[in-house]
Structure 1
Amino acid sequence: MLEISPTLAIPDDELVERFVRSSGPGGQNVNKVATAVELRFDIAQSPSLPEPVRTRLLARRDRRLTDEGVLVINAQRFRTQERNREDAKERLAAFVAAGLVAPKPRIATRPSRGSKERRLGAKRERGTIKRGRTGRDWD
């Protein structure tokens, strides 16, 4: 069971782990042992995610998300398979935790009268400066 928050946990049977050869450090061991982990989590079909969280996670523009809504995390930072598994699960937990927080809605505001006047005054001054540069003979 992967604990995300006190109210949300992902069961292990929803996570698919595949072990592949790592391209990172390890010497000759790299060629023999599959230490890198490819962790897959199907966000679109997961029964353990609440609907608003699922929607927020699928709406994110993340290159690790496939078109079918499967999150693929590759972990190969460490030399051992176990440490890479932990790293992949930590990164998955961080990704899902980011979807738990609803974004604050933007409140539409209008510029004040004074700020409009200051802006237009600055534009007028700039135009005057530029207008003063033309029409002169600079021999």
Structure 2
Amino acid sequence: MDWQTIKQEVTVRTSRSSGAGGQHVNKTETRVEILFDLRNTTALNSREKKNIRYHNKRKIDKNGLVSIIDQSGRSQHTNKTRAMRRLKELVSDGSKPIPKKHVGKAFTASRGKRLDNKKRRAEIKAGRGKIRY
């Protein structure tokens, strides 16, 4: 992971923030949206991209864009800093390896208990037929 290259590949968009703030919110663009193209980046290898896609499925759209929005602060600078920090966490946490699936077997006692229940149930159903004398 090359963080300097990621910082250069990031697209930053600003807009007016929603919510309370009086006149200040009506005239300043404090909302920051950071877009990072995961599919076309050169800063990550294919394994890292795959791991990030696995760990952050909900944050990546179908085109491979990671979108991070921050509008919690009153200044654009602090919102941009927070959003970049969140992107760095997302990329570093997401590049952890994909955990291997654990395929477990049923316990022997559980298997026996299940078969006993099936036999009992079969006997109950067999007893529902016509009575022959």
Q: CA RMSD in A?
A: 2.6
Alignment of 1:115-130 (within 5 A): 115-120=110-115
Match of 2:70 in 1: 75
Q: Give TM-score scaled by structure 1 length.
A: 0.73
Question: Distance between the aligned counterparts of 1:58 and 1:10, measured in 2?
Answer: 21
Residue 3 (structure 2) aligned to one of 9, 16, 32? 9
Distance in 1 between residues matched to 2:4 and 2:49, nearest whole Å: 13
More strand by share: 1
The structure carrying a bigger helix percent of its residues is: 2
- What is the SS of the residue equivalent to 2:57? coil
Q: Residues 122, 29 of structure 1: CA spacing in aligned structure 2 closer, same or farther, 3 A cutoff?
A: farther
Correspondence for 1:110: 105
The match for 1:61 is 57
Structure 2's unaligned 5+ residue stretches are 126-133
Q: Which residue of 2 aligns with 1:136?
A: none
Equivalent residue of 2:34, what SS? strand
**Which of the residues 57, 76, 81 maps onto 1:86?**
81
Distance verdict in 2 for CA 1:83–1:61, change over 3 Å: same
- The runs of 5 or more residues in structure 1 that have no matched partner are 1-6, 132-139
Offset at 1:77? 1.1
Q: Which position in structure 1 is the counterpart of 2:25?
A: 30
What do residues 64-103 of structure 1 show as CA deviations (whole Å, max 9, x unaligned)?
4232211111110111111100111121112112221112
